[in-house]
Structure 1
Amino acid sequence: MRRIVRGVLLAAALAGPAMAQERTIRLVSGFAAGGASDLVARLTAEAIGPLLGARVVVENRTGVNGVIGAAEVARSAPDGNTLFQCPMSTMAIVPQLVGANLPLDPGEALAPIGNLALSSYGFMVSAKGPYRSVQDVLAAARARPGQVSFGSAGVGSAQHLSGELLKQKTGTDMVHIPYRGATPAILDILGGRTDFMITNLADVPGQLREGSIRLLALADTGGSALYPDARPLAEAVPGFDVTGWFGICAPRGMPAELAGRLEGALRQAMAGEALPKRLAENGLSPRFEDAATLAARIAADRQTWREVIRAVGVRAE
């Protein structure tokens, strides 16, 4: 009976346009509307709907840094009708925090379909502040241990762990100031109440354009087409490399043919002009990666952040 049911689901998913037009695919974002995850989900839905002959609807299921949405998708039938916009923090960081007490581990409960974009993180300070280089910040941290501060979107966030990774690699003592989201943290950078922040470039496109925030370096080594003059932080801090990403995942157990069709739709959308252009306009670096490549990225990042979390003893709030 199980084989019969799976065969019916697969046949419906692979059916011609007349039947497929009746389908509705839910693409769940684990974060609030207006954020980077929601943006990627909506752009993806618009791009792949026609390719799949279906209506793709974005639903926001917020909470626990995306885990609530991930859990809902993981418990859904693997029939291609429920997908998840899976970002680095949800898949690689949050499940490994001490005391997280999660309903499941998204990195293990979901199957990668493909990646759409990389997200450069930047080492940022206020343009009105005294820092002109990464070396300036590190020199101040060494001269005044425990006084130079960095902001983040909250305990266990990618911004927080990036700052902890910087402390590890430079042997400096700097103070973490957690906020409830990236926006208030950025406001305190602008106001001079914290010294620096390592955050997603997509969080601050307006401030970078207007010049109120100074981008001292990129946290990854791949560079950014939007900021070609920005140098990698690894030049000042060897071995430092943090890159965010925004993929699409599905419940485990999906038939290979159906997973392949979904991956093919993502590949086709990223081969066109519209989706990559709109991702780039919003501060992201378009990059299609197939399911195997995304799986390898998830595994590597889980290892990186596991080591940081264990060394620092970061606990979930």
Structure 2
Amino acid sequence: MSPRIVIDQAGRIFLSLLILMLPLAASAQAGWPSRPITIIVPYAAGSLPDVFARAVANELGTRLNNTVIVDNVNGAGGVLGTERVARAKPDGHTFVLGVESTMLIAQMVRPATVRYDGLKDFTPVALMASSPLVLVAKPEFAANTLDDLMALLRVQPRSYSYGTSGVGTSLHLAGEMFNQQAKAEIAHVPYSVSTQIMTDVAGNQLDLAMVPLGSALPFIRSGKVKALGVTAAARSSLLPGVSAMSELPALANMNFTVWFGLFAPAGVDKGIATSVHAHLAAIFGTESIRQRIADFGMQPTVLDQAAFTRFLAGERAKFQSLISERNIRAE
């Protein structure tokens, strides 16, 4: 099970120490940066990862007194842009916005086409933000709460369907983790156009959907869909009245978050990685950025590089076990 990510008192002390370290981190690499820094976003312009990266790039550029460019290299579900960074020169001028799908899941569900290793070919610089997913139901669905749903599944474990953005995606894995733990077989309905999912749930065309919290919030708050449960280890501050799935004994091990991290090519100078991490820790300690991230439905997250590395290893083990047991393949 992946560790619960929170910023507690110790985390705030750690942030303060990192801020104090900024001059040391910056001076550790004289001459860097020597040209504009590029953050590759392996998704389309206007997507959530793109908007997030641009907010970070603007702040990072100000702190480094250097241009930070966001370059959208979209294609193959994020694999194309991610692979470009894996092959880039590790000189501290090229980074990638990595998510759990591109950095870990893709190589497991598409081993024949993904030609990089998310742990070996990259240096994890900073975990920046995370978010639970939320299981939503159509307005006419018989269940109003997670308890109600579990009661329905005990009687009819194969009678319902749930939608996601596609086979082998993070949302699909979260849905199958729910099936695994609930001992149910809710049928998966993959969508090629992800924006259609919420429309179909709200229109009573689809029973359930596993979706990012940020994209579901407007539908939930307007009463167009029912929110049954979030996938993180604790309730979301954005939906405090909605249960965390892990609150139910049958779903005690349900802990699935989506996240954004910054990665450099493997072999980047440790001083550069430490400097960028320290700047990012300071950025996410500011109230204005924390509020912007909350507006995306995400929680600002800070892990030091060692903790981030351990987190990634735990995530890989969790995904590998689930993919193997549920026989998930996207090829």
- With normalisation by structure 2, the TM-score equals 0.86
Select the residue among 165, 177, 185 that pairs with 2:177: 165
Determine if contact 1:98/1:314 at 8 Å carries over to the other structure.
no
Give CA deviations for 1:247-271 in whole Å, capped at 9, x if unaligned.
1111111111111111111011112
Determine if contact 2:143/2:152 at 8 Å carries over to the other structure.
no
Select the residue among 251, 260, 264 that pairs with 1:250: 264
The whole-number CA distance in structure 2 between the counterparts of 1:108 and 1:40 is 25
Unaligned runs of 5+ in 2: 1-28
The whole-number CA distance in structure 2 between the counterparts of 1:154 and 1:107 is 24
Per mean C-alpha deviation after superposition, the further-off stretch among 87-96 and 103-112 is 103-112
Letter in 2 for 1:255: D
Residue in 2 that maps onto 1:13: 32
Letter in 2 for 1:316: A
Residue in 1 that maps onto 2:63: 51
Whether 1:299 aligns to 2:313 is yes
Give the drift of 1:208: 2.2
**Would you say how many aligned residue pairs link Structure 1 and Structure 2?**
301
Whether 1:70 aligns to 2:82 is yes
Determine if contact 2:163/2:190 at 8 Å carries over to the other structure.
yes
Residue in 2 that maps onto 1:42: 54
Determine if contact 2:92/2:269 at 8 Å carries over to the other structure.
no
**1:201-212 equivalent positions in 2, closer than 5 A:** 201-212=213-224
The whole-number CA distance in structure 1 between the counterparts of 2:289 and 2:99 is 18
Select the residue among 254, 259, 262 that pairs with 2:276: 262
The whole-number CA distance in structure 2 between the counterparts of 1:200 and 1:33 is 18
Whether 1:103 aligns to 2:122 is no
Unaligned runs of 5+ in 1: 1-9, 15-19
Per mean C-alpha deviation after superposition, the further-off stretch among 100-109 and 175-184 is 100-109
Determine if contact 1:97/1:315 at 8 Å carries over to the other structure.
yes
Evaluate the alpha carbon distance shift between residue 96 and residue 183 of structure 1 in structure 2; reply closer, same or farther with a 3 A threshold.
Answer: same
Per mean C-alpha deviation after superposition, the further-off stretch among 127-136 and 188-197 is 127-136
Residue in 2 that maps onto 1:221: 233
The whole-number CA distance in structure 2 between the counterparts of 1:29 and 1:100 is 23
Per mean C-alpha deviation after superposition, the further-off stretch among 158-167 and 204-213 is 204-213
Evaluate the alpha carbon distance shift between residue 114 and residue 61 of structure 1 in structure 2; reply closer, same or farther with a 3 A threshold.
Answer: same
- With normalisation by structure 1, the TM-score equals 0.89
Percent identical? 29
Determine if contact 1:118/1:245 at 8 Å carries over to the other structure.
yes
Give the drift of 1:186: 2.0
Task: Say what the alpha-carbon RMSD is for the aligned residues.
Answer: 1.7
The whole-number CA distance in structure 1 between the counterparts of 2:81 and 2:151 is 42
Give CA deviations for 1:40-74 in whole Å, capped at 9, x if unaligned.
21111111111111111111111222111111111
The whole-number CA distance in structure 1 between the counterparts of 2:232 and 2:157 is 26
The whole-number CA distance in structure 1 between the counterparts of 2:46 and 2:119 is 24
Give the drift of 1:181: 4.4
Letter in 2 for 1:147: S
Determine if contact 1:182/1:203 at 8 Å carries over to the other structure.
no
The whole-number CA distance in structure 2 between the counterparts of 1:114 and 1:131 is 39
Give the drift of 1:78: 1.1
Q: Helix, strand or coil for the counterpart of 2:119?
A: helix
Residue in 2 that maps onto 1:178: 190
The whole-number CA distance in structure 1 between the counterparts of 2:225 and 2:46 is 21
Evaluate the alpha carbon distance shift between residue 96 and residue 213 of structure 1 in structure 2; reply closer, same or farther with a 3 A threshold.
Answer: same
The whole-number CA distance in structure 1 between the counterparts of 2:210 and 2:172 is 8
Determine if contact 1:147/1:174 at 8 Å carries over to the other structure.
yes
